[in-house]
Structure 1
Amino acid sequence: MILSSPDPAADPYLAAALLRLQRTSYAMEAALIGDDRIPPLQEDEIGLTAWRGRWVTAWDGVRLVGAIAWWESVDVVEIQKVMVSPSAMRRGIASTLLGRVLEAASSRPVVAATGRANAPAVSLYGKHGFRAQGDEQVPPGIWITRFRHAA
Structure 2
Amino acid sequence: MIKTIDFHDMDLAKNLFELQRASYLIEAELINYHEIPPLKESLNELLESKETFLGYFDREELAGALSYEVDGNELTICRMVVHPNHFRKGIAQSLLSFLLEDKKEFQIFKVSTGRENTPAKNLYIKNGFQLVRDIEIVPGFIISLLEKK
TM-score after normalising by structure 1: 0.93
Residue of structure 1 in register with 2:37 after alignment: 39
- Distance across 2 between alignment mates of 1:71 and 1:97: 15
Indicate the residue corresponding to 2:143 in structure 1. 144
Letter in structure 2 aligned against 1:12: M
CA distance in 1, matches of 2:51, 2:28: 24
Matched, 1:128 2:132: no
Where has structure 1 moved over 3 Å in runs of 4 or more? none
Q: Is the 8 A contact 1:113 1:144 kept in 2?
A: yes
Aligned to 1:78: 76
Q: How far does residue 140 in structure 1 lie from its aligned partner after superposition? A: 3.1
CA drift of 1:141 comes to 2.5
Gap regions ≥5 residues in structure 2? none
**Kept after mapping to 1: 8 A contact 2:73/2:106:** no
- Match of 2:47? 49
**Hey, what's the Cα distance between the residues in 1 that align with 2:104 and 2:47?**
23
Tell me if the contact between 1:57 and 1:68 (Cα under 8 Å) persists in the aligned partners. yes
Separation in 2 of the partners of 1:32 and 1:125?
17
What's the TM-score, normalizing by structure 2?
0.94
Cα distance in structure 2, aligned partners of 1:35 and 1:118: 11
For the residues of structure 2 that align with 1:94 and 1:17, how far apart are their CA atoms?
A: 17
Question: 1, 21, 30: which one pairs with 1:23?
Answer: 21
Q: How many residues align?
A: 148
Q: Deviations over 1:83-140 (max 9, x none)?
A: 0011111111101111122121424210000000001001101110000011111233
Q: Could you say which residue in structure 2 is the equivalent of 1:92? A: 90
Percent identity over the alignment is 34
On the 8 A contact 2:75/2:106 being kept in 1, the answer is no
Superposed CA RMSD:
1.1
- Maintained 8 Å contact 1:77/1:105: no
User: 1 CA distance for matches of 2:104 and 2:142?
Assistant: 27
